Structure 1
């Protein structure tokens, strides 16, 4: 296994430079022991009153002035341009849970890039948290206690099949693909159970579903295998 920059048995809050509600971010930073910033996300952490423990990225968004004021040893510059700062961070964090703030909202291209990384690093338990929604890769099996009528969207990032219980429109025997059948705007009809045949399906829920999603992921008995790169 390749050495990681961050090794912790605690959840990690990972902060990007994108759109993020300052009050929500402050609450998240105050509730966690380990904070990692993706490049310019360091400025967001500092503005929220918390110095990140580690900063990872190519550092093209971190001003020289801010960098001069940082404690020694917290910056880990990775200059290669074949991956995003989010990918650089996620592949270098060993943690039971990563909560990503500042990766959803504002620029659509940044959102799509972040969602692609979620699938590429599906072995990492990572949730992206925005102002309106929360998103993650569906593990091999997932049970969720959600209120009847809540929106539940499933978006395939590649070919994938699955099974479901507790959805208004079941997904069994459907061949999903991003350029074919997708599963947005489904609706909870009872206790939700999902099973997927490969790590290509995103579940997207309203932000108020975050506690239930965290509980469901913690109780999930299986994970996707680690990426080889």
Structure 2
């Protein structure tokens, strides 16, 4: 049951709950470390939480400007502190990450607390990246950053940096700067994948449709954010 007093919202109706011309940090209900949150906020200073993520950021001394979700995970104590910032999305067909992401109108969302816990939650988060392709988002994890490849992407990586590509659907594309190019290949979740590839220098990717996840070392967070902000998103 949602927290009492939280207004109901319907992101599918087209009215965003949070709008920004700059990237936004979105905190989920998983493990959110002070380091990860600080790294995200340095690049995306406005903070929003997805349901139980409100508890996570309050515990770290941060106050989100909005909490979005069905409010079945947020504690009563946190709800009381966040009165006036709660936006309840009552439907039960999607995750709180999905609800929050589609309610944010921003050039990029950096999501923390979405990985590193239950594996089914991680899979669900990756599903959302593809399902909401028009809402660019990067997952910041303990070891990696993960995001959906836009139609064209330029990554000014150094030689030797790990570049993993994982298809969430059957997909083709072209690449430059990879040790093992993807040109002429068909990638699929039940077939050939592209994990543990490697940059030979700056990397360029082109894909015809949304469905290819790019996974880079966490140290490349700032580079990945800049590249995604420079890229045209899916429409």
For residue 79 of structure 2, the aligned residue among 43, 67, 71 is 67
For residue 138 of structure 1, the aligned residue among 142, 149, 152 is 149
For residue 21 of structure 2, the aligned residue among 9, 12, 21 is 9
Q: Structure 1 residues 27 and 209 mapped into 2: Cα distance closer, same or farther (>3 Å)? A: closer
Alpha-carbon contact 1:148-1:188 (below 8 Å) kept? yes
- Using the alignment, how far apart are the partners of 1:169 and 1:15 within structure 2? 35
Give deviations 1:162-188, integer Å, cap 9, x for gaps: 000111101001111111111000011
Paired residues, number: 223
- Using the alignment, how far apart are the partners of 1:52 and 1:12 within structure 2? 11
1:108 paired residue number: 119
- Using the alignment, how far apart are the partners of 2:234 and 2:22 within structure 1? 20
Q: Structure 1 residues 7 and 171 mapped into 2: Cα distance closer, same or farther (>3 Å)? A: same
2:10 paired residue number: none
- Using the alignment, how far apart are the partners of 2:43 and 2:229 within structure 1? 18
2:184 paired residue number: 173
Alpha-carbon contact 2:24-2:48 (below 8 Å) kept? yes
1:223 paired residue number: 233
Runs (5+) with no aligned partner, structure 2: 1-12
- Using the alignment, how far apart are the partners of 2:76 and 2:190 within structure 1? 43
User: What SS does the aligned partner of 1:161 have?
Assistant: strand
User: What SS does the aligned partner of 2:14 have?
Assistant: coil
User: What SS does the aligned partner of 1:189 have?
Assistant: strand
CA deviation after TM superposition for structure 1 residue 48, in Å: 1.3
- Using the alignment, how far apart are the partners of 1:30 and 1:168 within structure 2? 32
Tell me whether 1:182 sits opposite 2:181 in the alignment.
no
Alpha-carbon contact 2:177-2:202 (below 8 Å) kept? yes
Q: How does 1:53-64 map to 2 (within 5 A)?
A: 53-64=65-76
Give deviations 1:112-148, integer Å, cap 9, x for gaps: 0000000011111211101110010001011111111
Tell me whether 1:194 sits opposite 2:187 in the alignment.
no
Q: Structure 1 residues 153 and 27 mapped into 2: Cα distance closer, same or farther (>3 Å)? A: closer
- Using the alignment, how far apart are the partners of 1:69 and 1:19 within structure 2? 20
TM norm structure 1: 0.93
Alpha-carbon contact 1:29-1:50 (below 8 Å) kept? no
Q: Structure 1 residues 27 and 179 mapped into 2: Cα distance closer, same or farther (>3 Å)? A: closer
1:25 paired residue number: 37
TM norm structure 2: 0.91
CA deviation after TM superposition for structure 1 residue 23, in Å: 2.5
Alpha-carbon contact 1:20-1:130 (below 8 Å) kept? no
